[in-house]
């Protein structure tokens, strides 16, 4: 594995807030606001917007998708490892041309048809950011650690197949 990229911010740890969940939530949300609301990131010339609904506890759906996991929106559970990395999605997006980030597109089949997703895998840190393609703009859909060997193998297979099909 490569060294951690210099552009990647440090983790935001719960212990830095004395283990106080409310203070920690306020802090990680403040980082999210700074990175995605107060300033607008861009990916390959396309604006990044947010999935705002459903709003929960006054916070946008995109925020919850970056710090929690689960298939059912109302039942998502906080993932502290995602919380710690709240400052990572934007730099991964902004440094997508860095050789440390593997980038590819795939198509997800949903109940409503299919949707293009853009995957940004910072493999050395086992971290994946997924953007949903809405044609004129992109949505940060989720971001999480990829630690299981079968998940890594699946991502590598997707990456290889995508780039093979483009050559």
Q: Which residue has the higher pLDDT, 83 or 2?
A: 83
Task: For residue 53, give both structure tokens.
Answer: 């609904």
Q: Which residue has the higher pLDDT, 110 or 96?
A: 96
Q: Which candidate, 15, 134, 30, 158, places its Cα nearest to that of 86?
A: 30
Please compute the mean of the pLDDT values over residues 84-112 and round it to a whole number: 89
Q: Is the pLDDT of residue 15 over 70?
A: yes
Contact between 120 and 104 under an 8 Å Cβ cutoff? The reply is no
Separation CA 118–CA 103 (nearest Å): 7
Q: For residue range 133-157, what is the model confidence (pLDDT) as tens digits?
A: 998 999 999 999 998 999 999 999 9
State pTM to two decimals: 0.90
Q: Is the pLDDT of residue 110 over 60?
A: no
């Amino acid at each position: 594995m490569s060294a951690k990229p210099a552009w990647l911010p440090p983790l935001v740890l719960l212990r830095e807030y004395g283990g106080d969940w409310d203070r920690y939530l306020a802090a990680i949300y403040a980082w999210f606001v700074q990175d995605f609301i107060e300033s607008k990131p861009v990916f390959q010339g396309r604006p990044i917007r947010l999935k705002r609904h459903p709003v929960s506890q006054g916070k946008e759906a995109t925020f919850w998708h970056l710090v929690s996991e689960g298939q059912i929106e109302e039942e998502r559970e906080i993932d502290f490892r995602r919380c710690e990395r709240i400052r990572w999605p934007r730099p991964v997006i902004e440094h997508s041309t860095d050789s440390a980030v593997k980038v590819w597109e795939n198509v997800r089949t949903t109940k409503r048809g299919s949707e293009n997703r853009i995957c940004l895998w910072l493999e050395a840190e086992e971290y994946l950011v997924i953007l949903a393609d809405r044609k004129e703009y992109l949505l940060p859909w989720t971001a999480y650690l990829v630690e299981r060997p079968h998940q890594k193998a699946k991502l590598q297979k997707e990456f290889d197949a995508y780039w093979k099909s483009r050559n």
